[in-house]
Amino acid sequence: MDKLKALIFDLDGVIVTTEHNHFIAWKRTAESLGIPFEEEHNELLKGVSRVDSLKKILELGSKTISTEEFNALLISKNEFYVDSIQDLNQSDLLPGVLSLLEEARSKGIKLGIGSSSKNANFILKLLKIDHFFDVVIDGNGVEHPKPHPEVFLNGAKALSLAPAECIVFEDAASGITAAKAGGFIAIAVGNPNIAELADTYFNDLTEFSLEAYA
Ligand code: BG6
Ligand code: MG
């Protein structure tokens, strides 16, 4: 890669444990439609936008519903989810996150978020880590959700950097696909199912060393 200038992080499942909260909220939604929903089904939804996630759940159950019901389910899923994360705090950060943010900052490496979530800014504030990031691109700022590379390309553009100068950290197949399609170095974290898709795999961010890319 070119000289490392920035780290761009997915949020849910890379920075913070919220992927589990999404799973519980989608499970409740799916089961209200009579569709069984377990961890293996949730794997298909990781990194996927709210609208596309509900479409995938309906596909899973071979079900069609009215636009009104679809929109009402999106609202109730999000209300349940947001309610479940009210007590989120720094103890919910995944291992190695805080020290990596601090180290990168001290070395002048730019930091970004590239998330499909429309709740990203709210979560960063809850965690009191919003001040670390030079750019936050979230589900409100993209036309084409992951696996399209737009979210990461917009992040690199906002930082005035080329993709080859940035590392993307992801826990989802859709996110690794997006990062690779955009020309970024793609590191998978905490999800062995996607290790093969990525340039490198780490169990968590404590295993990542900035020195190795300096
Ligand atoms: C992604 C999560 O980051 O954001 C998905 O991996 C989630 O599980 C998606 O569905 C959309 O999030 P939100 O907060 O906008 O519903
Ligand atoms: Mg994720």
- Report d(CA 105, CA 92) in Å as an integer: 21
- pLDDT tens figures, 110-148: 999 999 999 999 999 999 999 999 999 999 989 999 999
Instruction: Say yes or no: 121 and 30 in one domain.
Output: no
Last residue of a domain, one of 84, 106, 139: 84
Ligand located closest to 10 CA? 2
Last residue of a domain, one of 52, 84, 116: 84
Instruction: Say yes or no: 66 and 109 in one domain.
Output: no
Instruction: Say yes or no: 118 and 192 in one domain.
Output: yes
Please give the pLDDT value at position 136: 98
pLDDT classification of 213: cutoffs 50, 70, 90: confident
| Sheet arrangement for strand 185-189 | 135-137, 110-114, 6-9, 166-170, 185-189, 200-202
Q: Which residues are near ligand 1 (CB < 6 Å)?
A: 11-13, 19, 22, 45-50, 53, 78, 115-119, 139, 172
What single string gives the DSSP state of each residue in 18-64? THHHHHHHHHHHHHHTT----HHHHGGGTT--HHHHHHHHHHHTT--
- Is pLDDT at 5 greater than 90 in this prediction? yes
How many Å lie between the centroid of ligand 1 and the Cα of residue 141? 14
Contact indicator for 187, 4 with CB cutoff of 8 Å: no
- pLDDT tens figures, 57-103: 999 999 999 999 999 999 999 999 999 999 999 999 999 999 999 99
Instruction: Say yes or no: 30 and 11 in one domain.
Output: no
Instruction: Say yes or no: 31 and 10 in one domain.
Output: no
Would you call 130 a catalytic residue per the annotation?
Answer: no
Does residue 26 lie within any of the structural domains? yes
How many Å lie between the centroid of ligand 1 and the Cα of residue 3? 31
* Residue among 139, 147, 118 nearest 45 (CA): 147
Q: What is the count of structural domains for the chain? A: 2
Last residue of a domain, one of 65, 84, 103: 84
Least confident of 1-5, 11-15, 108-112, 120-124: 1-5
Domain containing 47 — which CATH number? 1.10.150.240
List the structure tokens of 212: 């190795």
- Report d(CA 121, CA 113) in Å as an integer: 10
